[in-house]
């Protein structure tokens, strides 16, 4: 899953980026509203962490522009302001959740997980396809109840396909959502990771749809 952080406080921005990367997210960081708006308009994100008090363009304006442009990614608003009017303004501008500073990073990660789950139609923190289970809280993957060890990139790819179970996901979409902005998008690593996941979880876990991409389906009963 790929997340955009728009935060002008350098230490907090670096801390959030490091924390989210440690939790398995691909992360891009913008330090002002103008850059944040540009990235949110031109790149694909599963969620955005957006500070309201930004230089150049304030966070509420950035959010309002995204929504008017038809950008639907879930947005978690961060602000040092804790009045009810700021919360209302953020939600009215199109925010999906609100977190006031200071906050615990564990709560921010939990809120992000929930936003991403809901945006893809998943109510539970556990993603299931047949005998395969992925717990988004612990990052553990099991098959028939037995733990399966995946690399970080294999986990990201499997997680994205499970979040979008039953849908055909193109190679381009996978690259856009599991890698950050600087990744070489001509790489063939998606195919390599799919092959590795099949070896670990079974040859039929991911279906290749020729010319379109990949799909992870619920096995037939």
User: 177 lies in which domain range?
Assistant: 126-215
Same domain? 147 vs 183: yes
- Residue 183, pLDDT score: 67
Burial of residue 147 (number of CB atoms within 10 Å: 0-12, 13-18, 19+): exposed
Q: What is the CATH number of the domain that holds 205?
A: 1.10.10.10
pLDDT tens digit sequence for 9-59: 999 999 999 999 988 899 999 999 999 999 999 999 999 999 988 999 999
pTM assigned to the model: 0.82
Same domain? 207 vs 189: yes
First to last CA, the chain: 29
Domain finish residue from 119, 139, 157: 119
pLDDT tens digit sequence for 143-159: 999 999 999 899 999 99
Domain finish residue from 119, 141, 166: 119
Rounded CA separation 170/175 (Å): 9
Same domain? 24 vs 101: yes
Of residues 15 and 81, more confidence is placed in 15
Q: What is the CATH number of the domain that holds 94?
A: 3.40.50.2300
Query: How many domains is the chain partitioned into structurally?
Result: 2
Helix axes 33-42, 59-68, angle to 10 degrees: 20
Handedness of CA 150, 151, 152, 156 (dihedral sign): negative
The mean pLDDT value of the chain amounts to: 90
Same domain? 176 vs 81: no
Same domain? 111 vs 171: no
């Amino acid at each position: 899953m790929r997340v955009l952080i728009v935060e002008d406080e350098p230490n907090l921005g670096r801390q959030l980026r490091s924390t989210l990367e440690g939790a398995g997210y691909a992360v891009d960081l913008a330090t002002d509203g103008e850059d944040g708006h540009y990235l949110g308009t031109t790149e694909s994100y599963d969620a955005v962490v957006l500070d309201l008090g930004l230089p150049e363009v304030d966070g509420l304006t950035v959010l309002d522009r995204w929504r008017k442009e038809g950008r639907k990614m879930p947005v978690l608003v961060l602000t040092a302001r804790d009045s009810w009017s700021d919360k209302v303004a953020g939600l009215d501008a199109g925010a999906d959740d609100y977190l006031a500073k200071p906050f615990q990073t564990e709560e921010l990660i939990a809120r992000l997980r929930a936003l991403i789950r809901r945006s893809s139609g998943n109510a539970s923190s556990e993603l299931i396809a047949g005998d395969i289970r992925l717990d988004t809280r612990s990052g553990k993957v099991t098959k028939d109840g037995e733990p399966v060890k995946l690399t970080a990139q294999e986990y990201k790819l499997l997680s994205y396909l499970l979040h979008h179970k039953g849908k055909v996901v193109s190679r381009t979409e996978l690259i856009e959502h599991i890698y950050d902005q600087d990744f070489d998008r001509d790489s063939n690593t998606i195919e390599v990771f799919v092959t590795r996941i099949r070896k670990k979880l079974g040859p039929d876990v991911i279906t290749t749809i020729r010319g379109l991409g990949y799909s992870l389906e619920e096995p037939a009963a």
